[in-house]
Chains A and B, each alone.
Chain A
Amino acid sequence: MAMNLERVKKEGYSIEAHVRSQRLSVVLTGTFDMTASQDLQKFLDEVRAEVMATNPPEIEIDVSSVYYLGSSCIKAFVSLTAALKAAPKHPILRVVTSSRLDWQERTFAVLARLAPEIVNVERT
């Protein structure tokens, strides 16, 4: 699988991607308020392009170390979910949340309601 996703590291947040066993894995850490939304949108646009080019069966997004996600960043996830739902091979999107941070499950549940056939929100 080709990988053209460059790590983003800024004051307050970071985003990076790995490939493990044919699975694309994205890890977010930090606080994603409006100041992070452009970086996140760009990164998830690149994830979408990568998925369309390489057709992985599954994408994992680990948000368990995210301390806040603002509405402009939710929009970036909604756009990615809609694109994956429309993709020919319907890759599964696994969102890994923390059981210590209850809000994560509530926030990301909206993706599962948007595309229940491809989105799984899990707690660790």
Chain B
Amino acid sequence: MSQSPPRRLRFVKVEFAPSCGCLGSLVALVTDFCRNVIDDPDVVFAFRMAAFELTENVVKYCSGDRATLEISVNNTVEGSELVLVTENQASVERLKDADERLRAGEAAEDPVAHFDKLVRDTLNSPDESRLGLGRLRAEADLAVSHSINNDMISIRVRRRVLKTNSGDN
């Protein structure tokens, strides 16, 4: 009796020097990967939005000269999951601020109500919008989590998907 081969983990990981000039290329890479693994324009757009927001954050707040972005599809016992992760260095002050904001967003029971609060707060923030991470849950139905290790911050967004393509064509 033949067994079907185990499905391979599919991912792309890129190391890049943060700058506005790399935004379009990174977003295109993430979008192409998602289009290749799933036929759902809503999910593809959600990850396109996440790619923009996460890489813009890296460009704005990274304190080092390198950062990474990884997009992957993981098969679990419950099904498949698309995951986008960025990792970068940041200053102590920026890490503290990001940690507070991300914890508040992750703990919010109602993502839309939380985003509406961020929108009202942005009127008192002259320079920064502080809306990017909040909209990923509220508008794109993405789960957002993070971890901080020394001066590195890793932000992960994911969404369960019903059916993925083989990705081999």
Is there contact, CB below 8 Å, between A103 and B45?
yes
For residue A79, CB closer than 8 A to chain B, the reply is: yes
Is there contact, CB below 8 Å, between B56 and A33?
yes
Is there contact, CB below 8 Å, between A79 and B123?
yes
Among A13-21, A46-54, A55-63, A64-72, which stretch is in contact with chain B? A64-72
For residue B129, CB closer than 8 A to chain A, the reply is: yes
* Docked pose: A117 CA to B119 CA in angstroms: 17
Is there contact, CB below 8 Å, between A34 and B119?
no
Is there contact, CB below 8 Å, between B23 and A75?
no
Is there contact, CB below 8 Å, between A71 and B119?
no
Number of interface residues of B (CB under 8 A): 23
Question: Which secondary structure dominates chain A's binding surface?
Answer: helix
Interface string of A70-100 (1 = CB under 8 A from B): 1110110011001000000000000000000
* Docked pose: A110 CA to B123 CA in angstroms: 14
Closest B residue to A77 by CB, please name it: B119
Q: How many Å from the CB of B134 to the closest CB on chain A?
A: 8
* Docked pose: A34 CA to B45 CA in angstroms: 17
Interface set of B (CB-CB < 8 Å, partner A): 20, 23, 42, 45, 48-49, 52-53, 56, 59-60, 115-116, 119-120, 122-123, 129-132, 135, 139
Given contacts A33-B23, A70-B56, A103-B45, 18 further A-B contacts (CB under 8 A): A34-B59, A35-B23, A68-B49, A71-B53, A71-B56, A71-B129, A71-B135, A74-B129, A75-B122, A78-B123, A79-B123, A82-B123, A106-B139, A110-B115, A110-B116, A114-B116, A114-B119, A114-B120
Interface set of A (CB-CB < 8 Å, partner B): 33-35, 68, 70-72, 74-75, 78-79, 82, 102-103, 106-107, 110, 113-114
